[in-house]
A and B are shown apart, each in its own frame.
Chain A
Amino acid sequence: MLRFILSKLLYLIPTMLGITLVAFGFIRLLPGDPVLLMAGERGVSPERYAQISAQLGYDQPMWQQYFTYLGNLLQGDLGNSIVTKKPVLAEFLSLFPATVELALVAIVIATLIGVPVGVIAAIKRGSWFDQISMTGALVGFSMPIFWWGLLLIIFFSGVLQWTPVSGRISLMYFFPSVTGFMLIDSLISGQEGAFASAVSHLILPSIVLATIPLAVIARQTRSAMLEVMGEDYVRTAKAKGLPMRRVIGVHALRNAMIPVITTIGLQIGVLMAGAILTETIFSWPGIGKWMIDSISRRDYPVVQSGLLLIAGIVMVVNLIVDLTYGLINPRIRHK
């Protein structure tokens, strides 16, 4: 197992370096002078220009700039935002919990609904449930989620007035951030109604973000179940007279879950892309909205490091999924 983990880690190093190269190259590929872009100042005097250039290391040869950049990264120095002047890493860490909370709730919704729907659709193949749920899954898979979010706002916030339009919690409530997760913090604070307010703010964005993963998980579960149900060991289990519930729950489902777990893990990248749109629509203060705002404000140090951090997170999550996969499926590990 250790060899398996090590080989996976080694495999990641070139990709990691590639990602840093992309982030490093990004600033230099932008139209305009990188020194001015990174400094975010206009009409600088030649002396000031030389000063900034030396400060940022742009007067050195390209390869040296790259190694300085890598060195800074390893020390956790991701530069400062042009707009807020704060360190990018600190900003990222303060906004990240909001995105994690949203993404976690979304993936839980998607899994809790998607897996049972897929299993039932597979067992009752060809039934009306199968047809309706799989049509629904294809609609969900084809959904422009930015529009879906707007529709939900029109209906639940506009017509019914059940949910708020934006933000993480009502302005009425104020309490210190302990975990960064609004659901937990509002519970800890003990203020009446705070938790309910957090839930009502979270519900629409998490439904929107869950839509595509839900569709993918339901489809994947169904096809994995169908495949497994045709296997010899399932036929044996049926033949020896086991109750259907046991055949499906133990023999079929366990094996069908292996590809489904991978699918769930791979949805992280989808969630990150979805978070950009969802957070923009619901003014959710997470890293997706932060990235969009930074791109439109031309806050390039933030864009550069945000790109790096998000790609890094997606990679680490995929690694964890790979390792889990090896853990539950020995055939992969010993290949």
Chain B
Amino acid sequence: MTDTTVKITNSAMRGRMLREFWFYFSQNRGAVAGLVVFLLLVLTAIFASVLAPHDPTQQYRDALLLPPIWDENGRAGFILGTDAVGRDMLSRLIYGAQYSLFIGIVVVAIALTGGIIIGLVAGFFGGWVDTVIMRVMDVVLAFPSLLLALVLVAILGPGLTNAMIAIAIVYQPHFARLTRAAVMSEKAREYVTAAKVAGASNLRLMFKTILPNCLAPLIVQATLSFSSAVLDSAALGFLGMGAQPPASEWGTMLAEAREFILRAWWVVTFPGLAILISVLAINLMGDGLRDALDPKLKRS
């Protein structure tokens, strides 16, 4: 007797899922464009020391507030001009990509981890545990995010690390809520009951049985939080509460450039443009991810 069932290994299954995901993701031209820009940004950050023509903190005292190279007063060697103390704009922007990506990754990692654990506990155990946790999350969500982050930084002290912690704390309830909602709808499904009957421990049920089935909305939220983290950390830097000078963080660069807005447009324009392009690329990717991961929208 021959076995007619086709055996699908785990890796083949994964490959098939990835191909399906890519099929839906690549239908969205904007998402692919966003992905390309994002990858370029990652490469820029990784190879910053190779790409940057100058040291980002080197002050060329003979080249203060030089306009970009295409302006008649521009000087070769300083493609995007220099800032008020003679630092090369292009090099600072290239190194700034490191800050933005680093901030995004750290904030999302902290908020995601915290949110998943809190949301799993609340959704899995329910009852008073759930009530208490969710009321605390409501309190955090009652404050406008930037204001709460500002106040947290006032408590922790200004600086990049504290700004990242503050932003992560502010974002964390979104992940907790999403996880909880997903866990509550998955908890009653038969495969969970089956695992429970088979004797799986609570921890195994939470992390191995339920969590993998709740990941889709979390991935989308993580992408959106990544872009918000880049925006909010730049805003904190702009308000003097984030990364401190002479760091070439884009928001901090804008804060330093503020007094020159009517004299030297380039010191204001380029850092903001860098923020906008990065955030836009990540949001485009997020839109594509949502469409590709949302089963309701598929095949409709």
Which residues of A are at the interface with B, using a C-beta cutoff of 8 A?
14-15, 18-19, 21-22, 26, 29-31, 135, 138-139, 141-144, 146-148, 150-151, 153-154, 157-158, 269-270, 272-273, 276-277, 280, 291-292, 295-296, 303, 307, 310-311, 314-315
Known: A151-B268, A303-B151. A272 touches B139 (CB 8 A): no
Q: Is A142 in contact with B276, judged by CB distance below 8 angstroms?
A: yes
Which partner residue on chain A sits nearest B284 by CB separation?
Answer: A138
CB of B154 within 8 A of CB of A19, answer: no
Whether the pair A144, B279 counts as a contact (CB closer than 8 A) is yes
Interface residue? B261 (CB, 8 A): yes
Q: How many residues of B contact A (CB 8 A)?
A: 42
Within 8 A of A (CB), among B114-143: 135-136, 138-139, 142-143
Contacts of B138 in A (CB 8 A): 14-15, 18
What residue of chain B has the Cβ atom nearest to residue A157's Cβ?
Answer: B262
Contact of B147 among A21, A154, A307, A315 (CB under 8 A): A307
B152-187 vs A, Cβ < 8 Å mask (1 yes, 0 no)? 001101000000000000000000000000000000
Tell whether, in the assembled complex, residue B154 and residue A30 are in contact, meaning their CB atoms are under 8 Å apart: yes
Cross-chain pairs A/B with CB under 8 angstroms, 7 sampled = A29-B155, A139-B280, A147-B276, A158-B262, A276-B239, A280-B239, A303-B151
Whether B272 sits at the interface, judged by CB under 8 Å, is yes
B281 nearest in chain A by CB position: A142
Contacts of A277 in B (CB 8 A): 146, 235, 238-239
CB of B222 within 8 A of chain A?
no
Task: Indicate whether B199 reaches chain A with its CB closer than 8 angstroms.
Answer: no
User: Knowing A138-B280, A272-B147 touch, does A311 contact B142 (C-beta < 8 A)?
Assistant: yes
Does B74 touch A at the CB level, under 8 Å?
no
Are B136 and A139 in contact, CB atoms less than 8 angstroms apart?
no
Shortest beta-carbon distance from B282 to chain A in Å: 8
* 10 further contact pairs, Cβ within 8 A, besides A146-B234, A276-B150, A296-B240: A15-B138, A18-B136, A31-B155, A142-B231, A146-B254, A147-B272, A147-B275, A153-B261, A154-B265, A295-B154
B104 within 8 A of A: no
Q: Which of B207-242 contact A (CB under 8 A)?
A: 227, 231, 234-235, 238-241
For the complex, what is the distance from the CA of A29 to the CA of B283, rounded to whole Å?
Answer: 35
A146, A151, A158, A277 — which one has the most chain B CB atoms within 10 A of its CB? A146
A26 touches B227 (CB 8 A): no
B-chain residues with CB within 8 Å of residue A314 when the two chains form the complex: 142-144
Q: Nearest-CB distance from A212 to chain B (Å)?
A: 10
Nearest residue (CB) in B for A134 is B30
How many angstroms between the C-alpha atoms of A332 and B235 in the bound complex? 37
- Chain B 26-49, CB-CB to A under 8 Å as 1, else 0, gives 000010000000000000000000
Residue in A29, A138, A292 whose CB lies within 8 Å of B150: A292
> Main secondary structure on chain A at its contact with chain B?
helix
B268 pairs with A154, CB closer than 8 A? yes
B139:A15 contact, CB within 8 angstroms:
yes
Shortest distance between the CB of B35 and any CB in chain A (Å): 15
Cα(A151)–Cα(B276), bound, Å: 13
| A224 CB to nearest chain B CB (Å) | 15
Contacts A29-B155, A311-B143 given; does A144 touch B234 at CB 8 Å = yes
A158 to B263, CA, bound (A): 9
Question: What are the residues of chain B within 8 A of A280 when measuring CB–CB?
Answer: 239
- Given B142, B150, B240, B265, which contacts A19 in the complex, CB threshold below 8 Å? B142
For the complex, give the distance between the alpha carbons of A154 and B144 in Å.
29
Instruction: State how many angstroms separate the Cβ of A3 from the closest Cβ of chain B.
Output: 21
B240 to A: closest C-beta gap in Å: 7
Contact B283 A142 (CB under 8 A): yes
B271 near A: Cβ within 8 Å? yes
Expressed in whole angstroms, the Cα–Cα distance for A138 and B142 within the complex equals 25
CA distance in complex: A31, B269 (Å): 37
Q: B287 contacts the other chain (Cβ, under 8 Å)? A: yes
Please determine whether B150 and A22 come into contact, CB atoms closer than 8 angstroms. Answer: no
In this complex, which of B30, B136, B241, B280 has the most chain A Cβ atoms within 10 angstroms of its Cβ?
B280
Which residue of chain B lies nearest to A298 when distances are taken between CB atoms in the complex? B154
Alpha-carbon gap, A215 to B154, bound state (A): 31
Give the residue of B151, B251, B254, B284 whose beta carbon is less than 8 angstroms from that of A26.
Answer: B151
With a cutoff of 8 Å between Cβ atoms, the chain B residues found around residue A21 in the complex are 139
In the complex, B145 has a CB within 8 A of chain A = yes
Contact (A143, B276) CB under 8 Å given A14-B135, A15-B142, A26-B151:
yes
Specify which chain B residues have a CB less than 8 angstroms from the CB of A26 in the assembled complex.
Answer: 151, 155
Name the distance in Å between A46's Cβ and chain B's nearest Cβ: 27
Q: How many Å lie between the Cα of A295 and that of B150 in the bound state?
A: 8
Greatest chain B CB density within 10 A among A144, A148, A307 is at A144
Question: Which residues of chain A have C-beta atoms less than 8 A from B14's C-beta?
Answer: none
Which residues of the other chain, B, contact A135 by a CB distance below 8 angstroms?
Answer: 30
- Given A18-B139, A138-B287, the answer on whether A144 and B147 have CB atoms closer than 8 Å is no
**Contact, CB under 8 Å: A291 / B135:** no
Contact of B276 among A29, A144, A303, A311 (CB under 8 A): A144
Of the candidates B136, B144, B150, B154, which one forms a contact with A269 in the assembled complex, judged by CB atoms under 8 Å apart?
B144
Chain A residues near B196 (CB, 8 Å)?
none
Asked if B258 is an interface residue, CB under 8 A from chain A, the answer is yes
Write the nearest CB–CB distance from A239 to chain B, whole angstroms: 22
Determine the residue in chain B with the shortest Cβ distance to A21: B139
The reply to whether A292 and B276 contact each other, CB–CB distance below 8 Å, is no
Q: How far is the CB of B254 from chain A (nearest CB, A)?
A: 6
With a cutoff of 8 Å between Cβ atoms, the chain B residues found around residue A143 in the complex are: 276, 279
Contact B135 A18 (CB under 8 A): yes
B265 nearest CB across to chain A (Å) = 6
